[in-house]
A and B are shown apart, each in its own frame.
Chain A
């Protein structure tokens, strides 16, 4: 090894603290930057894996009565639809009143369930529960539900647990008027467990949808297609309503015709018993006509709904916006870390070159070229950058996305975060570190080497002392002890040092306050909202279309 290289190597060994303090500080800045930059795409990729594994539908169509086969064919033939999966769904309360469950028929191809324990139901009295309930029930147990017209049985044997990309949250999976108003979990049963044959849920995959989940390309295109399908559904539902209503009208007409006949009959009879029978029949018919009218009201509220992923999948939108939130953070937080790291390493590298002034001069006197002398320092600086970037990026790519994802996913039922490489932020971070190391050396060594060799070999002339402003306040100045005076002078003499200290402390304090502030603000939200702002425990809504609406308020 050449002696000039050996010299730098020995310098490295002799000042390990300096080398490692710069390296680790840079590593920290790189860690935060690369880690945060990697988090959003990693979170999105993780979700995309979930969706791919389940083959999550692009859209879900639903209606309370169920879709007829001709309606399904109509939808299938729509030019935007690639494939449809038919399913049934109903909501039930458990007999012990503790859980409200969305029970669905096991999806075959689209929006599949992923079995995490046990196996799929093989018989119609078997059930697979969502992971949301894995702490409340065991495999092999029986689960009882309150009577539900849609299901053949009230008791099921639990044969497994599963996850679903349509029900990703751990709780509060939707609103219902059963139990406490919130859906707690989903569960899967065989189609044969349902009483009704007409599917009331259609899972849709669209043609010509490019882009990935959460990309604008995908989400905007999806919205268009869903709107298009909704229009189609509006037509279908109108037809259905009209058909149903005309059926009922027919029945009403028939009943009214019978009423007329009965009235005529009544007019012709004088027999009391016969009259009584006729009156009874008329009352029955009147009842039936009333019921039919009510039915027409209910039918007028029949809607077919088309929902995009953000609407039917509980957790889809939230996870997307959670990931996006981190992007904002990744553009601001690292600035502080880098600012502090850059300032410190900049100062240290410059000081190192200044310290070695006489040695640099000696080498120059011996006949070493500026290039050869400077390259040693560039090597040292470059090494801190490289090592710092490797450590920071390595840890950042692994730790931060995992930690952040897990904190968001704590309330979800999801697999582990999916980590990937992100070269661009690593390269950007590396260049930034070079600014504070290699560039710092450049700024210090270039003017130094430009001087005459004999000047370099002499120690640097100290800067002349200056009186500071405070000294003009003689009454105050005279009260200070000598040490205090020296301190005051020093603060202003070494301005660079002063600013570094102030900015460094300011930046670090800002970050601490931000962190704690955020934590405290978020913790305050629930008590303030539900303790001070919202004072009710229950909300009741008047349904002015109800049968007894007019009776409300009367005694």
Chain B
């Protein structure tokens, strides 16, 4: 693994609900790790482990209760709501489990929706082509299959040209083959652009495709390992 600079550093980050009460819940408990530029990172854990919470923190969707979150040179843990919105807009591309496309807009328009507010976007049509949907640009989400919709969502995230691409259970609603295709897009994206992708999943069988694997159990980090020899996802079977 080459020596590359840090993109993300978390120091003792906790997300606590109902602090100091009987029903206190620590969704994230004292997390610390580092992610370097150009990594394909997978955060794995079973349901309720706290991985989505972590992803939301990284994506500036949620605030933290304790700790520091350094991303691209800024500590976003102290950000106000407005600052987080700006951070989200400029630095983050998000892919959700249920795609979350706007039904009133065509696939292309959905991508343009994101690319209009970005500072240095990729052309929306190019983004669509890069996920293989060059021919489906004028269809509306309800007219598309799950896999196609997820690809649109990926194109939307890519189009912003963000420093960080986050995916929360991106294949959760898809079948095996379609899911693999989506994962391949993420993999190719990292290899082609050298930008970071962080995927959250409960499927530990795809760990080999990542550069960096973080395992979360009960809100804490159980494992934080690097793959010296990662395997392309098309060669993985599960």
A residues with a Cβ closer than 8 A to B are: 2-4, 6-7, 10-11, 14, 358-359, 361-370, 452-454, 457
B214 interface residue (CB < 8 Å to A): no
In the complex, whether B86 has a CB less than 8 A from a CB of chain A is yes
Residues of B within 8 A of A11 (CB): 104
**Is B223's CB within 8 Å of the partner chain A?**
no
- Please give the distance in Å from B111's CB to the nearest CB on chain A: 9
Question: Is B61 a contact partner of A452 (Cβ separation < 8 A)?
Answer: yes
- Residues from chain A with a CB closer than 8 A to the CB of B123 are none
Q: How far is the CA of A7 from the CA of B101 in the complex (A)?
A: 12
> Is B165 in the interface zone, CB < 8 Å from A?
no
- Complexed CA–CA distance, A364 and B87 (Å): 12
- Residues of A within 8 Å of B85, CB to CB, are 364, 367-370
Interface residues of B in 123-137 (CB under 8 A from A): none
**B residues in contact (CB < 8 Å) with A:** 52, 56, 59, 61-63, 82, 85-86, 88-90, 92, 94, 96, 100-105, 109-110, 112-114, 116-117, 156
**Given A3-B113, A11-B104, 17 extra CB contacts under 8 A:** A4-B116, A6-B104, A6-B109, A7-B104, A10-B104, A359-B103, A365-B61, A365-B88, A365-B100, A366-B89, A366-B94, A366-B156, A367-B85, A369-B82, A452-B62, A454-B52, A457-B100
Closest Cβ–Cβ distance, residue A546 to chain B (whole Å): 93
Q: How far is the CA of A448 from the CA of B15 in the complex (A)?
A: 22
Nearest CB on B from A141, distance (A):
75
The residue that A366 contacts in the complex, of B82, B86, B104, B117, with Cβ under 8 A, is: B117
With CB as the reference atom, state the residue of chain A lying closest to B53.
Answer: A454
> Are A7 and B102 in touch, CB under 8 angstroms?
yes
A457 contact set on B, CB distance < 8 A = 96, 100
CB-CB under 8 A from B86, the residues of chain A are: 367
Asked if A14 contacts B104 (CB within 8 A), the reply is yes
Minimum C-beta distance from B59 to chain A (A): 8
Residues in A with CB closer than 8 Å to B88 are 365-367
Q: B59: nearest residue on chain A (CB-CB)?
A: A365
Q: Which of B56, B85, B101 has the most CB of A within 10 A?
A: B85
Q: Is the CB of B102 within 8 A of A454?
A: no
Tally of contacts, chain A with chain B, CB under 8 A: 69
What is the CB-to-nearest-CB distance from A372 to chain B, in angstroms, rounded to a whole number? 8
Q: Return chain B residues, CB-CB under 8 Å to A368.
A: 85, 89, 117
Known: A452-B62, A453-B62, A457-B100. A6 touches B117 (CB 8 A): no
* Max chain B Cβ within 10 angstroms of own Cβ: one of A3, A358, A454, A457: A3
One of B63, B90, B96, B102 near A367 (C-beta < 8 A): B90
- Whole-angstrom distance between the Cβ of B43 and the nearest chain A Cβ: 16
**Contact of A3 with B94 at beta-carbon distance under 8 Å, contacts A365-B61, A367-B86 already known:** no
Nearest-neighbor residue (CB-CB) of A369 within chain B: B85
**Contact: A454 with B117, CB < 8 Å?**
no
User: Residue of A at shortest CB range from B112?
Assistant: A3
Tell me the smallest distance from the CB of A119 to a CB of chain B, in Å: 70
Q: Are B117 and A367 in contact (CB under 8 A)?
A: yes
**A-side contacts of B156, CB under 8 Å:** 366
Distance in angstroms between the alpha carbons of A367 and B166 in the assembled complex: 14
Question: A452 CA to B88 CA in the complex, in Å?
Answer: 13
A453 CB, min distance to chain B CBs, angstroms: 5
A4 to B117, CA, bound (A): 10
* Residues A2 and B105 in contact in the complex (CB < 8 Å), given A362-B100, A452-B61, A454-B61: no
Pick from A3, A358, A454: contact of B116, CB below 8 A.
A3
Pick 14 A–B contacts, CB within 8 A, sort by A: A3-B109, A3-B112, A6-B105, A6-B109, A7-B102, A7-B104, A359-B103, A362-B100, A365-B94, A365-B100, A366-B94, A367-B90, A369-B85, A457-B96
A453 vs B88: C-alpha distance when bound (angstroms): 11
Bound-state CA distance A4–B89 (Å) is 15
**Chain A residues positioned under 8 Å from B114 (CB to CB):** 366
> Roughly how many angstroms separate A205 CA and B114 CA in the complex, as a whole number?
77
Taking a contact as CB atoms under 8 Å apart, the answer to whether A4 and B113 are in contact is: yes
Contact: B100 with A358, CB < 8 Å?
Answer: yes
B120 → chain A closest CB, angstroms: 14
B residues near A454, Cβ cutoff 8 Å: 52, 56, 61-62
Is the beta-carbon distance between A359 and B102 smaller than 8 angstroms?
yes
Residue in A closest to B99 when the chains form the complex, CB atoms: A362
Determine the distance from Cα of A285 to Cα of B29 in the docked complex, in whole angstroms: 136
A358 to B97, CA, bound (A): 13
The 10 A-B pairs of least Cβ separation, nearest first, read: A367-B89, A10-B104, A3-B113, A367-B88, A362-B100, A453-B61, A7-B104, A3-B112, A454-B61, A3-B109
List the A side residues contacting B94 at CB < 8 Å. Answer: 365-366
Which of B59, B63, B88 is packed against the most chain A CB atoms within 10 Å? B88
Closest Cβ neighbor of A364 among chain B residues: B85
Q: A366-B94, A452-B61 are in contact. Are A7 and B105 (CB under 8 A)?
A: yes
Contact across chains for A362 and B61 when beta carbons are under 8 A apart: no
State the Cβ distance, A234 to closest chain B Cβ, in Å: 84
**In the bound complex, CA of A453 to CA of B94 (Å):** 12
Which residues of B have CB within 8 Å of A359? Answer: 102-103
Min CB distance, A17 to chain B, in Å? 16
- Chain A residues with CB under 8 Å of B116's CB are 2-4
Residue of A nearest to B104 (CB): A10
Q: How far is the CB of A13 from chain B (nearest CB, A)?
A: 9
Instruction: Give chain B residues whose Cβ lies under 8 Å from the Cβ of A363.
Output: 102, 113
CB of B124 to closest CB in A, whole Å: 10
Provide the bound-state CA to CA distance between A349 and B112, in Å.
27
Bound-state Cα–Cα, A273 to B117, Å: 136
Q: Which residues of A contact B96 (CB under 8 A)?
A: 362, 365, 457
A449 to chain B, nearest CB (A): 9
Q: Shortest beta-carbon distance, B86 to chain A, in Å?
A: 7
CA distance A367 to B109 in the complex (A): 16
Question: Which partner residue on chain B sits nearest A365 by CB separation?
Answer: B94
A10 touches B89 (CB 8 A): no
